[in-house]
Amino acid sequence: MPSLGTSYGRGAATLAQWDLAKSDCVVIMGSNMAENHPIAFRFVMQAKAKGAAVVHADPRFTRTSALADIYAPVRAGSDIAFLGGIIRYLLENDAWFRDYALAYTNLSTIIRDDFQGPEDLDGVFSGFEPDMKAYFVDSWQYEGMAVPSPRSEHHPQTEMDFTACAGRMSEKPPHRDPTLRHPQCVYQIMRRHYARYTPEMVERVTGCRKETFLKICETLARNSGRERTSAFCYAVGWTHHSTGVQIIRAAAIIQALLGNVGRPGGGILALRGHSSIQGSTDIPTLYNMLPGYLAQPNVNKSHGSLDDYLKGETPPTGWWHNEPKYVISLLKAWYGDRATAANDYGFDWVPKIIGDHSQLPMTLAIRDNVIKGMFLLGQNPAIGGSNSRLVQRGLAELDWLVVRDFAETETAAFWYQGCPVRDGELAPSDIKTEVFLMPASIAGEKDGTFTNTHRLVQWHDKVVDGPGDSRSELWFIHHLAKRLKALYADSRDARDRPIQALNWPYPEVDARGEPDVEAVLKEINGYTCGDETPVGTFKDLKDDGSTACGCWIYSGVYPKEGHNQARSRKADGPGGPGTHLGWAFAWPANRRTLYNRASADLDGKPWSEEKTLVWWDADKESWQSPDAIDFEPSKAPGYQPDWNQKPEGMDALDGGSPFIMTADGKAALFVPSGLKDAPLPTHYEPIESPVLNPLYAQQSVPTAKRWNREDNPYHAPEDAQYPHILTTYRLTEHHSGGTPTRSVPSTAELQPEGFCEIPPELAARHGLRTGDWVVLETSRGAVETRALVTSRLRPFEIDGRAVFQIGMPWHFGWRGYATGDVANVLTSIVGDANTTMHENKALTCRLRPGRLSGGRR
Amino acid sequence: MSRDRRTPFNRVGEFLNQWSVPRQMRGADHRTDAARSRMSETLRPRLEDADRVGTSICPYCAVGCAQLVYARDGRAIHVEGDPRSPINEGTLCPKGSATIGWMNAPDRLSKVLHRAPYSDRWEEKPLDWAMDRIAHLTRQTRDETFVEALPGGETVNHTLGLASLGGATLDNEENYAIKKLFGGGLGMVWIENQARV
């Protein structure tokens, strides 16, 4: 989540879900919260019952819209035009929270005078290299100093010596103009940048009538400020775009301008889709990060040695200055006694990445025979992967494939039921892949922790054994590790040192040989080497090899031997503070609302009595709160760094800097580094769009990751062959790739078959009625499905002509009780520059009545 | 079970006897005495036979609803929302309510299935055999594809020949172990999960 990370410091929801009940206004956009996160939506309804306004902006009218006070229909892929319009409204009408934004954001900071924006450069920012389709971010920096990003890659692409220029952050505060008159201050840059995002332009781009748009602006502004707070909720309706990171960035700007971050009932809630998707980002099974948002060593950066890595990745100022402690403690957790100062704690054993190794390029590397052996651990890419035909065809190139799941997935069945076989391109006797399908245990059948969408780490008990040979993934990895360590035990080859050195101390606790999960949790929490005492907090971690810690942000989850805070179930009773500090553990350090120092003013006094969360107690010389405080507990509000001393780390942040993970302690309205596509959100059309960009000559985001090839072609803008917008979505009754609900009788019965939603005006053109068969087609493939003709999807008038949208749920496949064609046959492999997130929320397609002649694809 | 032969006269009499309205009209409380019937007399709490209960977290989305899992004789018999949770306060959505159906799904696997190269069928295999075979293949592929340094001399110590996908449905401890073994131990860099889908 680089958007929230670069804006506020941490890539995570800023508030707890239950806190939404305290909001005065909830804006839901990029999410169908009522249907996809219904239990969290209860808190929105509680807020509404107390008088809060609920706003929903979405391409489809859903149950969320039905329960909202204001519904804004917006064309899929036009979110930044809408949000940019809100930013312009706030700035031009002085509707932002001046005292908050001036103090706690970089609004007044001066950007280098060679910075230029899309106004000057016809849709791109300064630093763009057309040949590389990438930016050098030199000109995006603060005047006189380079600013390291708080996200895992602290070291951006520049022509200057970034580390040396970042060092200047220890010499003086950034140049700021509190009068906001300086032409290169962020405020003036934003005013110029968003000047053309007028209500009329918003209507022209998004299709939402300007009256509705303005009503939303007024509602949001009225319910924000000193006495009131508003919250934003979003989900994959925002992330699944080639500009997804920038959409969320736009919301981050709005919320910081309005003073809604770090305050009760305010903030941004990312609604995530899998039980531990936040956890699997924090402790990443992701290619580019090490646990706790540390950078995976990269051959293209100055990561040649541990010293170089730490020098390049450690910002001089802010909390991230502690990074070496976290890196060295991680290496100690991984390599134990074999990690010593003499061998750089085994730094060279950590593999270096050489490019983008995320799922989309992985899909192509499988097809292109780079990847030979593969593990699939609870994921079903034949359904969930973009360009499903390419995914399924690629699997036949693998030498071997291990699928671990609770039932046979479409992916596991690719070799006899996949589309290349059904199409007659391949027979099983042509496919060399050796496939293992292994039964897996699920929650209820194993101990462990999930991290929920608001950073809450919650333990689940093993109550029963999974059936037969079902085992946990931990069992699988543990026993595979033991076997591999045995296979490599006698090797003298240097390349085999990492597996030999890997510290693997987990005891087995039952007859099946399941490892002790709490032993792993303790390692994640961190402990002192030697006596193996758990550390109480990440403040106890050291950079001298005396501590080990698997993920520093989780320190405190197992603070004492036998104390598993994730299993704690002490909720606040009625009349309690409602932070529920005794219910499980929230990272970091059990803080429930991030950046909560911002709930008080510069003097440490809450902005309003009604919205009190954190305050400075002058007598006790410390901050007080019913929450865990996201600030140094005894740093006085009036503290100023002594710049003569070249202060580093937290010493360089004054007492009015609540965003402690950023290098200047402020929320970044303008992001100098950490993003690859823009310092300010800018409307670009989706890669496939039926209209030309009404705002700029630059049609789509120039830095998008494209893999245009024969088996992954794209549609040109305004392609008459593919005139309609297609958006994919989810249903209440089904879960992602579908196996955990399509194989379950009750959910399959509730939502038994695939379909697509078609607006009545488009259906009329084709003579279609609900229940008729239709074929949807893109240059990647075609599917047949049933039509659901509904005015929930309405035609838009965009730039003077009618544009139709079609919606299709993507859960369905051919196995289980609820079946349907695979929506991802239609989608393409194309990615956001920052995250390589696909764009399955906005692509183009064509529609015809009838069925596929050659059978289903 | 054999049933007594019942005449229409018997049936009407029985109905009038069981129907609560006449009893309510005679003054019986509709919540207690009048609510009783032959069926209600035999109703039992469905959790009465549970021999075990544990706290769990819903395995579907990321809201993190707390659940209580009841089991009898090593089999889950009921899953419900944990009323103590400040998130769900005892409630569950249609997916969360289906958790028991997931645990006891008719199509659940209980044995390792193996498909040999070019074969047209699955074959059941012992778990130990599969683990040994997978460990062997992992080592073989790693050894064939491991790169210590790029042509320019930069140390990479990685393999591009192995990949792992999945993790967002798994526990933190499992993700930690995956990243540690696959990344830190084997040098794999293609390690990804559902965070980007």
**pLDDT tens profile A464-508:** 999 999 999 999 999 999 999 999 999 999 999 999 999 999 999
Over range A655-679, report the average pLDDT.
97
Can you give the residue ranges of every domain in chain B?
A: 8-42, 52-103, 125-196
Across the interface, which of A280, A353, A434 has its CB nearest the CB of B167? A280
Q: What is the pLDDT of residue A800?
A: 79
For residues A225 and A457, give the distance between their C-alpha atoms in angstroms, rounded to a whole number.
Answer: 32
Q: Is A511 on the interface with B (CB under 8 A)?
A: no
Q: What is the pLDDT of residue A857?
A: 44
Given a cut of 80, whether residue B5 has pLDDT beyond it is no
For residues A419 and A855, give the distance between their C-alpha atoms in angstroms, rounded to a whole number.
Answer: 10
For residues A497 and A493, give the distance between their C-alpha atoms in angstroms, rounded to a whole number.
Answer: 7
CA–CA min distance B80, chain A (Å) = 12
End-to-end CA distance of chain B: 55
Among A17, A63, A274, A567, the strongest candidate for a mutation testing the B interface, having the largest count of B CBs within 10 A, is A274
Q: Please, are residues A335 and B180 in contact by the beta-carbon 8 Å criterion? A: no
CA–CA min distance A285, chain B (Å) = 5
Over range A341-350, report the average pLDDT.
98
Q: What is the pLDDT of residue A151?
A: 79
Given a cut of 80, whether residue A589 has pLDDT beyond it is yes
Over range A116-132, report the average pLDDT.
96
Instruction: Return residues 3-62 of B near A (CB < 8 Å).
Output: 52-62
For residues A791 and A779, give the distance between their C-alpha atoms in angstroms, rounded to a whole number.
Answer: 27
Q: Is B129 on the interface with A (CB under 8 A)?
A: no
Given a cut of 70, whether residue B195 has pLDDT beyond it is yes
Strands A782-789 and A773-777: antiparallel
Query: Can you read off the two tokens belonging to residue A159?
Result: 């022509």
Classify A443 as helix, strand or coil: coil
For residues A146 and A150, give the distance between their C-alpha atoms in angstroms, rounded to a whole number.
Answer: 13
CA–CA min distance B43, chain A (Å) = 23
Over range A26-43, report the average pLDDT.
98
Q: What is the pLDDT of residue A516?
A: 98
Q: What is the pLDDT of residue B26?
A: 86
Architecture of domain B52-103: Single Sheet (2.20)
Query: Can you read off the two tokens belonging to residue A113?
Result: 């005078």
Q: Is A199 left (phi over 0), alpha (psi -120 to 50) or beta?
A: alpha
Q: What is the pLDDT of residue B33?
A: 85
Across the interface, which of B88, B111, B168 has its CB nearest the CB of A439? B111
By C-alpha distance, which of A62, A26, A59 is closest to A42?
A26
For residues A559 and B72, give the distance between their C-alpha atoms in angstroms, rounded to a whole number.
Answer: 34
Instruction: Return residues 362-421 of A near B (CB < 8 Å).
Output: 362, 365-366, 370-379, 381, 384-386, 399-400, 402, 404-408, 415-416
Q: What is the pLDDT of residue B85?
A: 98
Q: What is the pLDDT of residue A856?
A: 46
Given a cut of 50, whether residue A457 has pLDDT beyond it is yes
Q: What is the pLDDT of residue B3?
A: 52
Which DSSP string do the residues of A122-139 spell out, in sequence order? TT--TTEETTTTEE--GG
Q: Which residue has the higher pLDDT, B15 or A41?
A: A41
**pLDDT tens profile A50-64:** 999 999 999 999 999
Categorize the per-residue pLDDT at B10 as very low, low, confident or very high, splitting at 50, 70 and 90.
confident
Q: Is B180 on the interface with A (CB under 8 A)?
A: yes
CA-angle at A121, arms to A118 and A126, nearest 5°: 80
For residues A285 and B180, give the distance between their C-alpha atoms in angstroms, rounded to a whole number.
Answer: 9
Residues paired with residue A624 on neighbouring β-strands, in sequence order: A615
Centre a 10 Å sphere on the Cβ of residue A138 and count the other Cβ atoms it contains.
Answer: 21
DSSP code for A296: P
Does A351 sit within 8 Å of B193, measured CB to CB? Answer: no
CA–CA min distance B62, chain A (Å) = 4
Does B165 sit within 8 Å of A375, measured CB to CB? Answer: yes
Q: What is the pLDDT of residue A853?
A: 80
Rounded percentage of chain A residues whose pLDDT exceeds 90: 96
Instruction: Return residues 440-479 of A near B (CB < 8 Å).
Output: 442-446, 448-454, 456-465, 467-474, 476-479
For residues B176 and B171, give the distance between their C-alpha atoms in angstroms, rounded to a whole number.
Answer: 9
Given a cut of 70, whether residue B152 has pLDDT beyond it is yes
By C-alpha distance, which of A563, A566, A534, A549 is closest to A448?
A566
Q: Is A286 on the interface with B (CB under 8 A)?
A: yes
Does B112 sit within 8 Å of A746, measured CB to CB? Answer: no
Q: Please, are residues B107 and A431 in contact by the beta-carbon 8 Å criterion? A: no
Q: Which helix (H) or strand (E) holds A53?
A: strand A53-58
Rounded percentage of chain B residues whose pLDDT exceeds 90: 75
Over range A15-30, report the average pLDDT.
98
Which chain A residue has its CA at the smallest distance from B163's CA? Answer: A374
Classify A610 as helix, strand or coil: coil
Over range A595-611, report the average pLDDT.
98
CA–CA min distance A102, chain B (Å) = 34
Q: What is the pLDDT of residue A41?
A: 98
User: How many residues can be counted in chain A?
Assistant: 857
For residues B95 and B93, give the distance between their C-alpha atoms in angstroms, rounded to a whole number.
Answer: 5
Which chain B residue has its CA at the smallest distance from A16's CA? Answer: B87
Q: What is the pLDDT of residue B31?
A: 86
Q: Output B68-77 pairs: Cβ under 8 A, ≥24 positions apart.
A: B69/A444, B69/A461, B69/A463, B69/A464, B69/B99, B69/B103, B70/A463, B71/A463, B71/A464, B74/A464, B74/A465, B75/A464, B75/B104, B76/A444, B76/A463, B76/A464, B76/B100, B76/B103, B76/B104, B77/B46, B77/B47, B77/B49, B77/B50
Q: What is the pLDDT of residue B185?
A: 98
Q: Which helix (H) or strand (E) holds A65?
A: helix A63-66
Q: What are phi and psi of B36, to 5 degrees?
A: -75, 145
Does A750 sit within 8 Å of B156, measured CB to CB? Answer: no
Q: Please, are residues A797 and A207 in contact by the beta-carbon 8 Å criterion? A: yes
Across chain A, mean pLDDT equals: 97
Given a cut of 90, whether residue B7 has pLDDT beyond it is no
**pLDDT tens profile B111-130:** 999 999 999 999 999 999 99
Burial grade of B41 (CB within 10 A; 0-12, 13-18, 19 or more): exposed
Does B57 sit within 8 Å of A450, measured CB to CB? Answer: yes
For residues A280 and A274, give the distance between their C-alpha atoms in angstroms, rounded to a whole number.
Answer: 10
Centre a 10 Å sphere on the Cβ of residue A174 and count the other Cβ atoms it contains.
Answer: 21
For residues A662 and A256, give the distance between their C-alpha atoms in angstroms, rounded to a whole number.
Answer: 14
Which chain B residues have a beta carbon less than 8 Å from that of A272?
A: 61-62
Which chain B residues have a beta carbon less than 8 Å from that of A747?
A: 94-95, 98, 101
- What is the ipTM metric for this complex? 0.98
User: How many residues can be counted in chain B?
Assistant: 197
Instruction: Return residues 74-103 of B near A (CB < 8 Å).
Output: 74-76, 79, 82, 84-88, 91-99, 101-103
Across chain B, mean pLDDT equals: 93
Given a cut of 60, whether residue A159 has pLDDT beyond it is yes
Instruction: Return residues 149-178 of B near A (CB < 8 Å).
Output: 150, 154-178
Does B59 sit within 8 Å of A275, measured CB to CB? Answer: yes
CA–CA min distance B68, chain A (Å) = 9
Rounded percentage of chain B residues whose pLDDT exceeds 70: 97
Given a cut of 90, whether residue A152 has pLDDT beyond it is no
Categorize the per-residue pLDDT at B22 as very low, low, confident or very high, splitting at 50, 70 and 90.
confident
Instruction: Pinpoint the alpha helices (H) of A176-317.
Output: 186-194, 199-206, 210-222, 236-239, 244-257, 279-282, 306-313
Which chain A residue has its CA at the smallest distance from B185's CA? Answer: A499
Instruction: Return residues 747-776 of A near B (CB < 8 Å).
Output: 747, 750
Which chain A residues have a beta carbon less than 8 Å from that of B185?
A: 481, 484, 498-499, 502
Q: Point out the least confidently predicted range of A21-35, A194-208, A786-800.
A: A786-800
Q: What are phi and psi of A178, to 5 degrees?
A: -65, -15
Q: What is the pLDDT of residue A497?
A: 98
Does A521 sit within 8 Å of B177, measured CB to CB? Answer: no
Size of interface A-B (CB pairs under 8 A): 490
Over range A134-160, report the average pLDDT.
89
Which chain B residue has its CA at the smallest distance from A288's CA? Answer: B189
Over range A136-153, report the average pLDDT.
92
For residues A345 and A437, give the distance between their C-alpha atoms in angstroms, rounded to a whole number.
Answer: 37
**pLDDT tens profile A386-428:** 999 999 999 999 999 999 999 999 999 999 999 999 999 999 9
Q: What is the pLDDT of residue A154?
A: 62
Q: Is A838 on the interface with B (CB under 8 A)?
A: yes
Given a cut of 90, whether residue A249 has pLDDT beyond it is yes
Domains of chain A: 2-124+174-270 (3.40.228.10), 274-286+356-446+684-857 (2.40.40.20)
